[in-house]
Amino acid sequence: MYVAVKGGETAIANSWRLLAESRRGDPAVPELTLAQIAGQMPLAVARVMGEGSLYDPELAALAIKQAAGDLVEAIFLLRAYRTTLPRLAATQPIDTSRMQLQRRISAAFKDLPGGQVLGPTYDYTQRLLDFSLAADGVRPEAAVAAEPVSASMPRVTDLLGHEGLMQPESPAAGDPDPVDLTREPLDFPAGRDSRLQNLARGDEGFLLALGYSSQRGYSNSHPFAGEIRQGDVEVELVPEELGFAINIGDITVTECQMVNKFIGSEDTPPQFTRGYGLVFGGSERKAMAMALVDRSLRARELGEPVKSPSQDEEFVLYHSDNVEASGFVQHLKLPHYVDFQSELELIRKLRAEHARKDKAA
């Protein structure tokens, strides 16, 4: 008679089996391999690695497969796994000026040392569905450039910096270790290190909307895409017993440096300021949105009025994480019988009183 009280355990086990079956789909169709996902969906893998805060294309591919392509669920899977990993050491900061470039563009200068390198991008494709991909296509081959990419590819912000036009940014006195939000709770006012780590892990859609709002009058940060570069950087570690840096591997990253006008204040001459975005892989949209929001969040530090959502650090940093947001939004599916019962009782009581008042009037 009263099914709601018993049988949860069996129902859950059955739900797991049904999920596994529906994830696999038609067994007549070959199963996806992790190599296929990692190799042919690199942008999905990049997003999962970035917001999952773990650089591992194979595990990200596994998470995507297990999540049936739900990237936020895949990010959650990767994060939950990441929590269990031991911390062996901290690497040296990566040096993006020494990046092996696949792509480098500047919207601020027509030409610059090293030139504009388009690399693999959807930017100049016509968004027409390519029906040839529906059939088994031949492998397209890219032409090899007549000359290799220039070895010297200075960052645009460094070029501006030489002239003193770009606000310099250097580590705080004593170069303290950055905050690690995966080990310590967020604290306010949040330092730039906390903010950037939070944004790097933040949901692409949320940052995209916030960055967009900052371009539409909800704060105006006058951005130029000073430079976007994508490529491989070395990850280096200084083992205590060696005392010098060794390369432990390369990772692919995309860096966006937004250049923003700043009219100056009493203490500071007019100059350009920076909004910074860095993500794993080729998540360029995320890198740009991150840079816009980073710059918006610098309002307080630069003495600008804080009046828009993208400038409000509590609003942005508390709501950027899609693992937190997805969990809490979806927790509404959990039973709330008891709270609802309490509300029912109150609403009935208030309605009865309301009806009595109406009658009396």
> Please, which residue, 131 or 337, has the CB nearer to another protein?
337
Q: Which residues bind another protein (CB under 8 A)?
A: 2, 4-9, 11-12, 76, 79-80, 82-88, 182-189, 314, 318, 323-324, 326-331, 334-339, 341-346, 349-350, 353
CB of 355 to another protein, least distance (A): 14
> Please, which residue, 86 or 217, has the CB nearer to another protein?
86
CB of 294 to another protein, least distance (A): 20
> Please, which residue, 133 or 332, has the CB nearer to another protein?
332
> Please, which residue, 83 or 170, has the CB nearer to another protein?
83
CB of 210 to another protein, least distance (A): 17
CB of 321 to another protein, least distance (A): 8
CB of 84 to another protein, least distance (A): 5
CB of 102 to another protein, least distance (A): 31
> Please, which residue, 52 or 114, has the CB nearer to another protein?
52
User: What strand order describes the sheet that includes 271-280?
Assistant: 100-105, 223-237, 246-262, 271-280
> Please, which residue, 32 or 325, has the CB nearer to another protein?
325
